Amino acid sequence: VQLQASGGRLVQPGGSLRLSCAASGGSLGDYSIGWFRQSPGKEREGVSCVRRIYEQKYYSKSAKGRFTISGDRAKNTVFLQMNNLKPEDTGIYYCAASRFGLIASSWPQTSQYHYWGQGTQVTVSS
């Protein structure tokens, strides 16, 4: 499966963005889809994950309450709605697909994912 992440841009603190992860060559409903963020000088960290589009959803501590992950099976796309954005949310956001049905302890681990998109830049700054 090939993944294409989009939707990143410059936004002011407190603003909102919706990122999209569109898939081709496979159905996202067959995978666990994760969103990861990589900030300068930091390791890639898990932000959110949804298992097989309509099953369990997971969020990092920093994302919980502000971000919502969702999927549209007909569009074969997973979205990450990000509200109340903060400067520390700045980074390149990647979506990734895992053939595993990921659980709470495994979804944040990059090694659990088999396919990666190219990333989209999110900058939160005034």
**pLDDT exceeds cutoff 90 at 55:** no
Q: Is 40 helix (H, G, I), strand (E, B) or coil?
A: coil
The per-residue pLDDT for range 7-46, each reduced to its tens digit, is 999 999 999 999 999 999 999 889 999 999 999 899 999 9
| Residue 107, CB-side half-sphere exposure with 13 Å CA sphere | 23
Pairing of strands 120-124, 10-11: parallel
**Hey, what long-range contacts does 60-68 have (CB within 8 A, 24 or more apart)?**
60/108, 62/88, 62/89
pLDDT-derived band at 53 (thresholds 50, 70, 90) equals: confident
Structure tokens given for 95: 């979506």
**Strand partners of residue 98:** 32
